[in-house]
């Protein structure tokens, strides 16, 4: 059972995101462009940390996965071969009364239009292709049509041979890629959850066919663990296997890692056994032999593929929602006040350390500068001079900064600063010559 969903949580997080420069509506001064969002100075750091954590766990810490960065625009034949031109569709219906469009599979059971409330006014469902079409070169005709990629995976499949031969990797091995994908979603919404432009974190793991079932289990468990390890509580996460009707055309087995969003369970990531579907299709359409010859067993085969496919924006949203908390903190005059705190894992926090001189007086500023210069090569820091120290702690708490370093008048003589912990609010005096090591110890190695 999941904890009860909090309907107000989304508003609080969207407001905080805008107020603190995490995420802005795209084209804001023009009234916004529904379904796309811009990451501000803190948001770009947060999302980059999510992507770095993924890359670290999928590529850096493994010897069986290599990286790739393929182009967004690809030969149109790729999308014919993959099945996207023919089948990458959602069922679309119009309400005859208000003319609003909806995904047929997301309509309420009541048959009422979610926009105008009129009953049984929907048209028959028709298939709507989600790929964005564009034209390459100066002439707009059928021969110049190209698509913005709707997934990063196909860039990996078409490079399978290039990567395998240049790295001399043997199955089981994987190719990981991070990057933008585009889908003309019928009903974007729920903030970063469903947008028309988003970033994916995908890995294709090529295995001997008889090992596919084993590696599927492995990657489902591994990817679930990744979210847990980065701070999403176990009662807000679950693994949901797809039933037969729900499976994509290429998949033999799929399980989603789901998070309990404020509106209910939603997919964070899908792990699929794509069989040899993609390599078979690309071999057929390109005429290239994409099989692998295993010298040890003297066998030639088309590898099966296990794919963990995650979204960087959805994961960022889940980490924000899971981290959002409100509690109480002491004020300077001995009372308590409400505080908003993002309990982000230090690896994800946009700012790792805030440097706060107790006062703006001249005597503390050169020291503040020295401390900032010493810390900058090691951590993303923020120097905040404005306002009472309690207010500055609150500002750092609400963006999830794990540690604050306060420089006070004693620092001039004792060459020590106060390190304050975001979660416990405990404070400890630390000598300046041990500061970098102490902060590293508290934040953990991967910060």
Residues that bind ligand ATP (CB under 6 A): 151, 183, 185, 194-195, 198, 200, 267-270, 309-311, 313-314
For ligand ATP, the closer of residues 194 and 392 by Cβ is 194
d(CA 442, CA 447): 10
Q: Which is nearer to ligand ATP, 269 or 397 (CB)?
A: 269
Helices (H), 325-428: 365-375, 389-398, 409-414
The nearer residue to ligand ATP, 57 or 195, going by C-beta atoms, is: 195
**Of 101, 126, 121, 102, nearest to 111 (Cα)?**
121
Alpha carbon of 425 to those of 398, 419, 421: distances in Å? Answer: 13, 10, 5
* Residue in the block written with tokens 């071969």: 81
Q: Which is nearer to ligand ATP, 179 or 311 (CB)?
A: 311
CB of 55 to ligand ATP, least distance (A): 16
* Residue closer to ligand ATP, measured from CB, 197 or 438: 197
CA pair distance 348, 6, nearest whole angstrom: 23
Task: Compare residues 185 and 222 and give the one whose CB is closer to ligand ATP.
Answer: 185
Give the orientation angle of helix 365-375 with respect to helix 435-443, to 10 degrees.
50
In whole angstroms, give the CA distance from residue 175 to residue 106. Answer: 34
Q: Quote the CA–CA distance of 162 and 164 in Å, as a whole number.
A: 6
**Could you tell me the smallest distance in angstroms from the CB atom of residue 310 to ligand ATP?**
5
**Is residue 147 within 8 Å of 183, Cβ to Cβ?**
no
| Two structure tokens written together for 394 | 């609150």
Tokens representing 358 are: 């107790």
Cα torsion 71, 274, 188, 313 to 10°: value is -60
Taking the C-alpha atoms of residue 146 and residue 127, their distance in angstroms, rounded to an integer, is 20
CB of 248 to ligand ATP, least distance (A): 8
Q: Compute the CA torsion angle 136, 33, 104, 310 (nearest 10 deg).
A: 70
How far apart are the C-alpha atoms of 257 and 274, rounded to whole Å?
17
Shortest distance (Å) from residue 344 CB to ligand ATP: 19
Closer of 82 and 406 to ligand ATP (Cβ): 82
d(C-alpha 161, C-alpha 171), whole Å = 12
Task: Please check whether residue 439 is in contact with residue 375, taking contact to mean a CB–CB distance below 8 angstroms.
Answer: yes
Place of tokens 């996965």: 65
Smallest gap from residue 58 Cβ to ligand ATP (A): 14
Task: Name the closest residue to ligand ATP (Cβ).
Answer: 311
Structure tokens at 392: 């500055």
**Least distance from ligand ATP to the Cβ atom of residue 182, Å:** 9
Nearest distance from C-beta of residue 106 to ligand ATP, angstroms: 10
Cβ closer to ligand ATP: 179 or 270? 270
Q: Smallest distance from the beta carbon of 299 to ligand ATP, in angstroms?
A: 31
The distance of closest approach from Cβ of residue 150 to ligand ATP in the complex, given in angstroms and rounded to an integer, is 8
């Amino acid at each position: 059972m999941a904890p009860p969903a909090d309907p107000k949580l989304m508003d609080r997080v969207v407001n905080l995101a805008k107020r603190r420069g995490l995420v802005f509506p795209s084209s804001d001064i023009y009234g916004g462009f529904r379904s796309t969002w811009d990451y501000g100075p803190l948001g770009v750091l947060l999302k980059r940390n999510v992507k770095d954590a993924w890359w670290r766990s999928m590529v850096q810490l493994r010897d069986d996965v290599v990286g790739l960065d393929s182009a967004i625009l690809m030969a149109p034949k790729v999308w014919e071969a993959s099945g996207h031109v023919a089948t990458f569709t959602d069922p679309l219906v119009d309400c005859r009364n208000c003319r609003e469009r909806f995904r047929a599979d997301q309509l309420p059971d009541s048959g009422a239009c979610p926009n105008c409330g009129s009953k049984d006014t929907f048209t028959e469902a028709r298939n709507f292709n989600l790929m964005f079409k564009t034209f390459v070169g100066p002439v707009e005709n059928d021969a110049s049509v190209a698509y913005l990629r709707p997934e990063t995976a196909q860039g990996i499949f078409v490079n399978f041979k290039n990567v395998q031969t240049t790295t001399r990797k043997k199955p089981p091995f994987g190719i990981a890629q991070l990057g933008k994908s585009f889908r003309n979603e019928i009903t974007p919404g729920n903030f970063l959850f469903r947008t028309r432009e988003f970033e994916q974190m995908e890995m294709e793991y090529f295995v001997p066919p008889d090992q596919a079932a084993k590696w599927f289990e492995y990657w489902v468990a591994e990817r679930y663990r990744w979210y847990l390890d980065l701070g999403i509580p176990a009662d807000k996460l679950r693994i949901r296997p797809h039933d037969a009707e729900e499976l994509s055309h290429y998949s033999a087995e799929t399980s989603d890692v789901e998070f309990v969003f404020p509106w209910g369970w939603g997919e964070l990531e899908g792990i699929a056994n794509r069989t040899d579907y993609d390599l078979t299709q690309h071999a057929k359409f390109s005429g290239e032999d994409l099989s692998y010859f295993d010298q040890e067993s003297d066998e030639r085969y088309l590898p099966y593929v296990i794919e963990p496919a995650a979204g960087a924006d959805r994961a960022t949203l889940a980490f924000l929602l899971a981290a959002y908390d409100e509690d109480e903190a002491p004020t300077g005059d001995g009372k308590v006040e409400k505080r908003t705190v993002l309990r982000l894992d230090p690896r994800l926090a946009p700012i790792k350390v805030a440097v706060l001189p107790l006062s703006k007086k001249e005597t503390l500023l050169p020291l503040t500068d020295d401390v900032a210069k010493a810390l900058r090569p090691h951590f993303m820091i923020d120097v905040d001079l404005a306002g009472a120290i309690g207010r500055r702690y609150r500002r750092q708490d609400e963006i999830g900064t794990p540690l604050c370093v306060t420089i006070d008048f004693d620092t001039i003589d004792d060459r020590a600063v106060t390190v304050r912990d975001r979660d416990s609010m405990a404070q400890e005096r630390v000598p300046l010559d041990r500061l970098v090591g102490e902060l590293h110890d508290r934040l953990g190695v991967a910060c």
